[in-house]
Amino acid sequence: MADFLDMGGYAVFVWASYAIVALALVGLWLRTRGAARQAAADVVRLRERIMAEGEGN
């Protein structure tokens, strides 16, 4: 197991690469989730605006 974790002497580079990719994936997930929530809120506001304009006619 220690040999696997050592990665043939390249453990620092390998594990750092995994950490960077993991952070990037988490960041992308958070950004996408935020964008989806914002888009959903925009849809709700647009529907309310359309309904309000329809009632005025």
Q: How many domains does the chain have?
A: 1
Contact 14, 7 (CB under 8 A): yes
In a domain, 9, yes or no: no
Please say if the pLDDT value at position 56 is more than 70.
no
Q: Which element (helix H / strand E) includes 1?
A: none
Contact 11, 5 (CB under 8 A): yes
In a domain, 4, yes or no: no
Q: What is the pTM of this model?
A: 0.71
CB hemisphere CA count around 47 (13 angstroms): 6
In a domain, 38, yes or no: yes
In a domain, 11, yes or no: no
Predicted confidence at residue 8, as pLDDT, reads: 86
In a domain, 41, yes or no: yes
Range of the domain at 47: 17-56
Please say if the pLDDT value at position 43 is more than 90.
yes
Please say if the pLDDT value at position 3 is more than 90.
no
Distances (CA, A) of 32 to 12, 46, 55: 30, 21, 35
Percent of the chain with pLDDT over 70: 96
Q: What is the pLDDT of residues 24-36, one digit of tens each?
A: 999 999 999 999 9
